[in-house]
Amino acid sequence: KAPDVRYRWLATRPMRRLALLLALNAAYSAVELAVGLLTGRVGLVSDAFHLTFGCGLLSFSLFAMAASRTKPDSTYTYGCSACSFA
C-alpha cells in the first residue's frame, strides 16, 4: 500500500514556517537579482546567487523533515524511505 503523501510536505507547523521562509527567500533573491542586473551592481547579483544556494539548502531541509515523518515498516526499520515519495 502506498503511503499518503498529499499533506506530508506541510504537515507540521515548523514545516509550514520553513516553506514560508523558503518562499520569502526565493522572492527576495529574485528581486535582488533583478535590481542587481538592472543597476549593474555585482554585489547584489552575487548576493542573489548566494541566497539562491540558501534556498536549495532550505528545500533539502524541508525534504528531510518530510522524509523523517515516514513510519517504519519491515523494509525501512528506521522509517525514512526516500522511495515512498514516488
- Let me know if residue 7 belongs to a domain: no
- Let me know if residue 5 belongs to a domain: no
- Let me know if residue 54 belongs to a domain: yes
pLDDT at 86 over 50: no
Given this model, what pLDDT does residue 22 score?
Answer: 93
pTM, entire model: 0.70
Q: Determine the structural domain holding residue 55 and report its residue range.
A: 13-85
Q: How many domains does the chain have?
A: 1
- Let me know if residue 2 belongs to a domain: no
1-50: pLDDT as tens digits? 455 555 566 778 888 899 999 999 999 999 999 999 999 999 999 999 99
Given this model, what pLDDT does residue 37 score?
Answer: 96
Burial group, residue 26, by CB count within 10 angstroms (0-12, 13-18, 19+): middle
- Let me know if residue 1 belongs to a domain: no
Q: Which of helix, strand or coil describes residue 41?
A: coil
pLDDT at 77 over 80: no
- Let me know if residue 4 belongs to a domain: no
- Let me know if residue 6 belongs to a domain: no
C-alpha distances (whole Å) from 44 to each of 25, 40, 53, 57 are: 14, 9, 14, 20
